[in-house]
Structure 1
Amino acid sequence: MAKQEVTVPDIGGAEGAEVIELLVAVGDEVEVDQGLCVVESDKASMEIPSSVAGTVVELLVAEGQELAEGALVAIIEAAGDAPAAAPAEETPEAPPASSPAAETEPVSQPEPAPVAAAAAPEIVAVPDIGTDDAVELIEIPVSVGDTVAEGDSLVVLESDKASMEVPAPFAGEVLEIRVSEGDQVKQGDELLVLQGSAASAPVPAAVSEPAPAPVASQPVAAAASPAPAPGKPTPLTQSEPASAGAGVYAGPAVRKLAREFGVPLAEVTGTGPRGRLLKEDLHAFVQQRIKSPAAAASTGAGIPVIPEMDFSQFGDVEVTQRSKMDKVTANNMQRSWLNVPHVTQYDDADITDLEAFRGSMKAEAERRGVKLTPMPFLLKACAVALRDNPKFCSSIADGGESLVYKKYIHIGMAVDTPAGLVVPVIRDVDKKSIWELAEEVIEVAGKARDRKLRPVDMQGGCFTISSLGGIGGTGFTPIVNAPEVGILGVSRADMKPVWNGAEFEPRKMLPLCLSYDHRVINGGDGGRFMTQLVSLLGDIRQIIM
C-alpha cells in the first residue's frame, strides 16, 4: 500500500461546505473514521473522517475554504507502509541498462537531466464529476503565468445540480489554458498545462506529453474560443459580465447566490481569506442596499431596521462572531415568522399511565441497552395523528395554488447542540416500534452533538417536535419549520390536581403547544389534531390500534 487520498464524502447535496476547523496537522497519526476537519454548510456542521489509518503526509485544505463532494482533504500514508521513494528512484535507472529500451526510445535518453532540474509540463484534465454529460465551465480564476499551490482552484464547473472547483494536482506555473468561460466540458477534457517543480513531478511518464502539446494546443484553443459565441449566454453573463467578475475570488456557491440576487460580484468587498467573497458578504451587500435611502424610496415598503448601538458607552462589553449555522438558523426562523401566519393552540396531556408504563419497562430497557424516554411515545403518537389528519402532512406549492400531500411520515426532532439548534429527521416513524424509535432517538441526538450529521439527515421532514423536556417552562410558541405546516412544542411535565367528577386527584400533566400555518390549517383542523394527540398520550394502547 502507498499514500492514500482522503476526499470529501457524500454530504447530502450541499453546494459547498466551509472548513471551519482543522482537527489534525501534518505528521499526526490518525485512525479510521477519526475527524480530519470540521466543515459547515447552510444546514449542519460535520466532521470529515479519515478513510484510512496512518500518518498525515499532506493537508490540502485550509480554514475558510469551501469544499464539495469529492474534493481532496488530505494525503495519508497507511500505517506500516514502507517509504515508496526507493522503488520510484530505481525505476528510471532500468531503461538505460537495457539495450532494447535504448533502441526503441532513443529520444528519451537526452531527457533525464532536464527532468531532474524541473518537472515536465502536465496536462490537467476534467476529473470524475459524477456524470458523463457535459457541464458548463463558469470561471477560470487563473491566468497564463500564474503560480498556483497544490489544491488551488484552476477552473469552476457548474451543472444543473451542483458546482465544483477543479483543484491543481500539484504546485507549479500555468503555461497554457485550453478552455474558455462558457465552454461545455466533460470528464477527460483537457483544461490547461501546468509546469511543476522537480519535487512535485507526479509521474515520469508524463515527460513524453509536452512535446506534442504546443502543437496540439493551437487548434484546441481555437476551437474552444468561439464556443460561447454561438448563442449560449450563461446566467453569469446575463447578470454579471465576464469582465466584471473574472478577477473576483469567489466559490461556486457564492457565485450562484450572486446570480440569484442579481448582484455584480465586482461591487462586493470580500472578507474571507485572500479577499475571497463569502455568502455573508453578499447578504451584507444586499442589506446595505435595502437600507439605503434610494432603495427605500424605490421599494416603498419594508420592515424598519433596528439601529446599531455602541453598548461600550455603558460599560465593558465582549463581541463574538456568530457561527454560520447560528446565523442561518436565525435567518430561517425570521423568514418563517414573516411568511407564515402562525396560530398556536395549547393543551395538557395526562401522561400518568404512560409514565407508569415507562417505569415498569425500565428493566427491559436496561436489558436492551436502551434508555426509554418520553420522546419515542411522542413520536409514535404524532405519527398516528398525522396519519389521521393528513393536512398536517402537507406543504404549500405553486405559489399557494396547490397542496402537496406526503404519503410518508418523517418527523424532525429539534436538538440543542453546542454548535446551535439542529433538526435531524427520523424517517418512517409510523412503521417503527417504540424500541426502534428509542434507539434511533439516542443515536440521532448523539450524532447531532458530535457534529456527525449530514445535510441529508435533516431533510424531508413532514412535522417537527421541539421538546424543552427537563429544561423547564409551562408553554411556548414554537415557530413553524417551513415548508412544513405544523410543529409541536413540549414543555416540562408536572403533577397537578385534576377533577375526576368527584374529587381532585394528582395527575402528571404534560403541556403541549401546537403551532401551525393558518394558510393550510384552520382552527378545526388544529383542534382535532390536538384532541387526538392528547387522547393517544393519555392511553398509549390506542397507538397500536
Structure 2
Amino acid sequence: MQITTPDIGVDKAVVAEILVSVGDTIQENDSIVLLESDKASVEVPSTAAGVVKAILVKQGDDVTEGTVLIELDSEASNAEQEKATDSSAEQSSEPVESAAEADAAQKKTESAEQPQTTGETQEVELKVPDIGVEKAAIAEILVQVGDQIAVDDSVVVAESDKATVEIPSTVAGEVTSIAVKAGDMVKEGTLLLTVKTAGAAPAKPAVVEKSTVAEKPTAPAAEKPVAVKADPVTSTEKPATPSSTDTAKLTDEQQAANAKVYAGPAVRQLARELGVLLAEVKASGEHGRILKDDVFAYVKTRLSQPAAKQAAAPVASGLPPLPDFSSYGGGEVKAMTRLQQVSVPQLSLNNFIPQVTQFDLADITALEAWRGELKEGFKKQGIGLTILAFIAKATAYLLKEEPYFAGHLADDQKSVLLRNEIHMGIAVATPDGLTVPVLRNPDQKSIKQIAQELGELSQKARDKKLSPKDLQGANFTITSLGSIGGTAFTPLVNWPQVAILGLSPATMQPVWNGKDFEPRLILPLSLSYDHRVINGADAARFTRKLTLLLKDIRNILL
C-alpha cells in the first residue's frame, strides 16, 4: 500500500522531515512526514496501519498532491496479528476460532471501503491531480518499481514556490513503471506512474482517473489504461552551479549519483538552491553524511578558484555568474530562509510586468478618531482593531466598482479575467520573511469580522500554522510598512494579480483648509499596477476615490 500526499491546497511543498523509518510499525493517523511550504508546515498522517516497507521521498524533495511518500506492508502487520492469534489458539481452540472469525469480519468491514477486485489484473495510470497551482517540481519519488502500495500511500513529493505536497495513490497494487524523475516539472494530468491492480478500481472518484478521462474522453471507464511513459519537462530555472558541471540539466548518471549520496532533505534543498552536485561534495558527517557546512565549504572552495575556472553560463535570472571576490577579502555563503528561497521564482515574475506606481495621500484623521472610540470595546471581545481593517473594507468596496484592479491578464494577452469575488492578500511580516494569507470576501463582511480575521491570519502566519488554502486565490494585495518608517515605496505586483496597494506610516502634517493650517493625520498610499491592464488615469482615479472613502468611510453606506 502506498501512502501519498493528500490535497494540501498548494502547488508543491518540501519534505522537511521524515518521521518514520523502514521497518517501523505505524498506526492509522500516525504522522509520517513533515511538509513545509513558504507559508506553512504540515504533518502528513498515514491513512492506514502497517509496517513501513519503503520510504519514497527524501528530505528536500518537492512533492505535490498524489506524490507517493511511503510504502506500507499491511500484510506484514496482519501476519503479526495472525501469529498472535495462532499462539492463543494453542490454549483454547474454540475462542481462537471465534476470534479468527471476528478478525475476518473486521477485515471484511475494513475492506468495505477498499476497491472490489474481479480476479483480473489491470494497469492503472496515476496522474497529477488538481494541486491548486499551474505547475510543480518533483522533489522526491517515494516508490520504486516493484513496490506494493496501498490506497492513499504517498507516491511522489511535489514542490511549488508555495508548499511541498505528497501525492497519494488512488489505488492499491504493484508499481510497474515510474514516468517522472526528481526535478521534473509537472502539472495536472501529468503521468506519474502505473500500478498493476488486482482488477481493483479506485475507492473513490480519484483525480487520477479524472485526469485520464479528461485526456481520453472516448475511452470507456472499464477499459484498461495504457501505461504511456511521459516525457518529463525538465525545469531550466535553476541557478548555475559553481562546479564545472552543468546541474541545470543533469544527466541520468548525475541524478543517480546524487540519489546515492547520504544527505538529509534540508541539505539537498540547499544544494539545489546553490546549484551544487552533491556527488561532488566531500562529506564530513557520520557514516559519510553530507552536512550543510560541507556544501558551504564546497561553494567557498569553488568561489576561491580563478574566475576562468568557474561556469560561464548565466543563471536562471539571465545575470552572469558572480565575479571572483577572493582577491578582495572573499566572503561567506549564507543560505536564505526557506521562505526567502521559495519566494525567488515568484518575485522574479515581476521582471515581465510593466509596472507603474501611483502615489497619493489620504486624510484619515476622522477615521483614526473613530477607531480610537471603538478600540476598547473590540479589545474586551478579544479583537484588535487596526486601521488596516477599515482600509481593507474600503478597498474591497472600491474593487467592486473597479473590477479590473482585481482581474487577471489572460494568457492570450488579449482579454482580462474579471473575478466574481474579492479575495484580498494581506502581507504579514514574520521572522522568516513576508507571507501573504488571504482575507476572503472582505466586501461582504463587517469591520468587526474583518478585524477578527486579520488578527487570526496574522497569528497563524507568525506561528507557521497557515494552511495552503489560506494562501491561495487572492486577486488583490495590501502590504504595509506599519510603523517602521518611510514616506513611500514601490510594492511589487504579485503575479497573476495586476495591482497591489502599499501603505506607509501615517504622520501628522499641516494641511491648508483655506484660512489656516491645521494638523491632519495623513496616510501615504502607493498603488502599483500592471500597465498592460490598467491605465494611468484609471489608477489615479482609483487612489483618489480611495482617499475620499478613507476620509469619510460613511460614503460606503451611500
Answer yes or no: same fold by TM over 0.5.
yes
Alpha-carbon shift at residue 141 of structure 1 (Å): 6.2
Task: Name 1:48's counterpart in structure 2.
Answer: 43
1:12 is aligned, of 9, 12, 27, to 9
1:517 and 1:455, CA in 2 relative to 1: closer, same or farther beyond 3 A?
same
Task: Name 1:323's counterpart in structure 2.
Answer: 337
Task: Name 1:497's counterpart in structure 2.
Answer: 510
Alpha-carbon shift at residue 442 of structure 1 (Å): 0.7
Asked whether 1:398 is paired with 2:411, we answer yes
Alpha-carbon shift at residue 509 of structure 1 (Å): 0.4
Asked whether 1:368 is paired with 2:381, we answer yes
Task: Name 1:408's counterpart in structure 2.
Answer: 421
1:290-439 map, 5 Å? 305-311=319-325, 313-315=327-329, 317-336=331-350, 338-439=351-452
1:433-472 map, 5 Å? 433-472=446-485
Asked whether 1:91 is paired with 2:82, we answer no
Preserved CA contact (<8 Å) 1:157 1:163: yes
2:125 is aligned, of 126, 135, 139, to 135
1:509 and 1:536, CA in 2 relative to 1: closer, same or farther beyond 3 A?
same
Preserved CA contact (<8 Å) 1:270 1:281: no
Preserved CA contact (<8 Å) 1:268 1:282: no
Query: Per the alignment, in what secondary structure is the counterpart of residue 336 of structure 2?
Result: coil
1:10-159 map, 5 Å? 10-14=7-11, 16-21=12-17, 38-41=34-37, 43-48=38-43, 63-66=59-62, 90-95=84-89, 134-136=124-126, 142=144
Alpha-carbon shift at residue 496 of structure 1 (Å): 0.5
Preserved CA contact (<8 Å) 2:483 2:505: yes
The Cα offsets for residues 274-300 of structure 1, whole Å up to 9 and x where unpaired, read as 449869749949xxxxx977x88xxxx
Alpha-carbon shift at residue 45 of structure 1 (Å): 3.2
Alpha-carbon shift at residue 307 of structure 1 (Å): 3.8
Q: 1:306 and 1:523 mapped to 2: Cα distance?
A: 34
Q: 1:389 and 1:73 mapped to 2: Cα distance?
A: 49
Preserved CA contact (<8 Å) 1:258 1:265: no
Q: 1:22 and 1:142 mapped to 2: Cα distance?
A: 17
The Cα offsets for residues 307-337 of structure 1, whole Å up to 9 and x where unpaired, read as 414556544744221234312212211221x
Preserved CA contact (<8 Å) 1:272 1:278: no
TM-align CA RMSD: 5.3
Preserved CA contact (<8 Å) 2:437 2:461: yes
Q: Give the counterpart letter for 1:48 in structure 2.
A: E
Query: Per the alignment, in what secondary structure is the counterpart of residue 425 of structure 2?
Result: strand
Q: 1:500 and 1:405 mapped to 2: Cα distance?
A: 40
Alpha-carbon shift at residue 59 of structure 1 (Å): 13
1:436 and 1:100, CA in 2 relative to 1: closer, same or farther beyond 3 A?
closer
1:157 and 1:511, CA in 2 relative to 1: closer, same or farther beyond 3 A?
closer
Alpha-carbon shift at residue 439 of structure 1 (Å): 0.5
Q: Give the counterpart letter for 1:481 in structure 2.
A: N
Asked whether 1:517 is paired with 2:540, we answer no
Larger radius of gyration: 1
Task: Name 1:239's counterpart in structure 2.
Answer: none
Q: 2:84 and 2:143 mapped to 1: Cα distance?
A: 38
Alpha-carbon shift at residue 390 of structure 1 (Å): 1.3
Task: Name 2:493's counterpart in structure 1.
Answer: 480
Q: TM-score, normalised by structure 1?
A: 0.62
Alpha-carbon shift at residue 417 of structure 1 (Å): 1.3
Preserved CA contact (<8 Å) 2:34 2:44: no
Preserved CA contact (<8 Å) 1:40 1:325: no
Q: Give the counterpart letter for 1:64 in structure 2.
A: G
1:235 is aligned, of 222, 225, 230, to 230
Q: 1:17 and 1:34 mapped to 2: Cα distance?
A: 20
Query: Per the alignment, in what secondary structure is the counterpart of residue 473 of structure 2?
Result: coil
Q: 2:274 and 2:333 mapped to 1: Cα distance?
A: 20
Q: 2:271 and 2:526 mapped to 1: Cα distance?
A: 34
Task: Name 1:532's counterpart in structure 2.
Answer: 545
The Cα offsets for residues 72-121 of structure 1, whole Å up to 9 and x where unpaired, read as 6999xxxxxxxx99986641135566789999xxxxxxxxxxxxxxxxxx
Q: 1:453 and 1:154 mapped to 2: Cα distance?
A: 22
Preserved CA contact (<8 Å) 1:136 1:157: no
Preserved CA contact (<8 Å) 1:478 1:488: yes
Preserved CA contact (<8 Å) 2:5 2:167: no
Preserved CA contact (<8 Å) 1:64 1:272: no
The Cα offsets for residues 19-58 of structure 1, whole Å up to 9 and x where unpaired, read as 22579999xxxxxx999865223x5231327799xxxx99
The Cα offsets for residues 338-397 of structure 1, whole Å up to 9 and x where unpaired, read as 111011111110011011001111221122211100111110011011111111121111
Preserved CA contact (<8 Å) 2:364 2:551: yes
1:540 and 1:73, CA in 2 relative to 1: closer, same or farther beyond 3 A?
farther
Asked whether 1:179 is paired with 2:171, we answer no
Q: Give the counterpart letter for 2:384 in structure 1.
A: K
Q: Give the counterpart letter for 1:406 in structure 2.
A: R
1:134 and 1:429, CA in 2 relative to 1: closer, same or farther beyond 3 A?
farther
Q: 2:31 and 2:88 mapped to 1: Cα distance?
A: 42
Preserved CA contact (<8 Å) 2:124 2:225: no
Query: Per the alignment, in what secondary structure is the counterpart of residue 528 of structure 2?
Result: strand
Q: Give the counterpart letter for 2:36 in structure 1.
A: E
Q: Give the counterpart letter for 1:92 in structure 2.
A: D
Q: 1:137 and 1:524 mapped to 2: Cα distance?
A: 47
Preserved CA contact (<8 Å) 2:3 2:155: no
Q: 2:18 and 2:420 mapped to 1: Cα distance?
A: 42
Alpha-carbon shift at residue 18 of structure 1 (Å): 1.7
Query: Per the alignment, in what secondary structure is the counterpart of residue 18 of structure 1?
Result: strand
Q: Give the counterpart letter for 1:164 in structure 2.
A: I
The Cα offsets for residues 140-174 of structure 1, whole Å up to 9 and x where unpaired, read as 96467x9x9x9xx996699xxx983769x9xxxxx
Q: TM-score, normalised by structure 2?
A: 0.61
Task: Name 1:214's counterpart in structure 2.
Answer: none
Alpha-carbon shift at residue 403 of structure 1 (Å): 0.8
Q: Give the counterpart letter for 2:457 in structure 1.
A: V
Q: How many aligned positions are there?
A: 417
Task: Name 2:182's counterpart in structure 1.
Answer: none
Query: Per the alignment, in what secondary structure is the counterpart of residue 471 of structure 1?
Result: coil
Q: 1:85 and 1:6 mapped to 2: Cα distance?
A: 20
1:96 and 1:384, CA in 2 relative to 1: closer, same or farther beyond 3 A?
same
Same amino acid, percent of matched pairs: 37
Q: 1:271 and 1:538 mapped to 2: Cα distance?
A: 64
Preserved CA contact (<8 Å) 1:38 1:45: no
Task: Name 2:111's counterpart in structure 1.
Answer: none
Preserved CA contact (<8 Å) 2:62 2:157: no
